[in-house]
């Protein structure tokens, strides 16, 4: 099993878009090691977020990596744009097509010098990424339906997180397991116990009132909970 290094990864969907640069500076000042940017096309999910020019501006004013989650129907069209914008990692969804298409996209992401990841929506089981794990630097287990921030955490995703972690330990021990959706201090520990090590946090970070304290409390809650909960396997 890989050494556990818990990463608090603030989701920019929850930041103050009217004062974006200020929010970015405050997030980086809170000591978080990376930031998470969701790109939505209004087709794959019923929402539209920001595009590549905004990502480029974000990357130009922060010194920490920017992790881009592509909630789009054709992410392969934009990989070079993402690289040029400064993205450090790109996540695409497992249900965009057959295994060969997804594998090809993951390989292309890596060939462009970025880290590659694949995401699982709640309706899709861990087995959907089993053959892709050797090609991934990370697997994202969605703990809400993708498309909107501020949703309630789906506790029944915990066994899926555990299944992905077990597969990674066998096939790609250095791979990270990311979770995204409704993560806060009350459930981050359960996700850590299940095997997650990269936690996308939106409302519980940017709306906390004290970003440094929020980041510290989230990480401490993850670290304190490891080994304290026993989970059943995913059906």
* Residues with a known catalytic role: 38, 180
The answer to whether residue 217 sits within a structural domain is yes
From the list 70, 21, 32, 29, the residue with the least C-alpha distance to 202 is: 32
- Give the dihedral sign, CA 67/16/73/130: positive
The answer to whether residue 105 sits within a structural domain is yes
**What confidence tens digit (pLDDT) does each residue in 31-59 have?**
999 999 999 999 999 999 999 999 999 99
CATH number, domain of 164, equals 3.20.20.70
The answer to whether residue 234 sits within a structural domain is no
Q: What is the mean pLDDT of residues 17-32?
A: 96
The answer to whether residue 42 sits within a structural domain is yes
Per-residue pLDDT for 74 more than 50? yes
pTM of the predicted model as reported, rounded to 2 decimal places = 0.93
Q: Considering its fold, how many domains does the chain have in total?
A: 1
The answer to whether residue 233 sits within a structural domain is no
Count CB-CB contacts under 10 A for residue 223: 13
DSSP sequence for 205-228: HHTSS-HHHHHHHHHHHHHHHTTS
From the list 122, 112, 149, the residue with the least C-alpha distance to 36 is: 149
pLDDT averaged over every residue in the chain: 93
Rounded Cα distance, 91 and 34, in Å: 14
Instruction: Write down the pLDDT at residue 227.
Output: 55
The answer to whether residue 235 sits within a structural domain is no
Instruction: Write down the pLDDT at residue 150.
Output: 73
Domain range for residue 158?
Answer: 7-225
The answer to whether residue 232 sits within a structural domain is no
Confidence of residue 234 (pLDDT cuts 50, 70, 90): very low
- How many alpha carbons fall within 13 Å on the CB side of residue 212? 5
The answer to whether residue 204 sits within a structural domain is yes
Per-residue pLDDT for 63 more than 60? yes
């Amino acid at each position: 099993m890989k050494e556990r290094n818990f990463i608090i990864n603030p989701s920019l969907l929850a930041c103050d878009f009217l004062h974006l640069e200020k929010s970015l500076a405050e997030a980086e000042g809170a000591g978080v090691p990376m930031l998470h940017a969701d790109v939505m096309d209004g087709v794959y999910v019923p929402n539209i977020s920001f595009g590549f020019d905004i990502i480029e501006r974000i990357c130009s004013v922060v010194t920490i990596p920017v992790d881009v989650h592509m909630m789009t129907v054709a992410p392969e069209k934009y990989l070079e744009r993402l690289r040029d914008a400064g993205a450090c990692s790109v996540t695409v969804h497992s249900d965009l097509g057959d295994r060969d298409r997804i594998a090809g996209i993951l390989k292309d992401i890596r060939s462009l010098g970025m880290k590659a990841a694949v995401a699982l929506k709640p309706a899709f089981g861990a087995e959907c990424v089993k053959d892709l794990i050797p090609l991934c630097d990370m697997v994202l287990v969605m703990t809400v339906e993708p498309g909107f921030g501020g949703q309630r955490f789906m506790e029944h995703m915990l066994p899926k997180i555990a299944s992905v972690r077990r597969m990674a330990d066998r096939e790609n021990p250095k791979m990270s397991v990311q979770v995204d959706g409704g993560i806060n201090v009350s459930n981050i520990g359960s996700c850590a116990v299940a095997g997650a090590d990269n936690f996308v946090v939106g409302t519980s970070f940017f709306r906390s009132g004290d970003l440094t304290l929020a980041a510290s409390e989230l990480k401490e809650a993850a670290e304190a909970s490891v080994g304290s909960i026993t989970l059943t396997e995913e059906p």
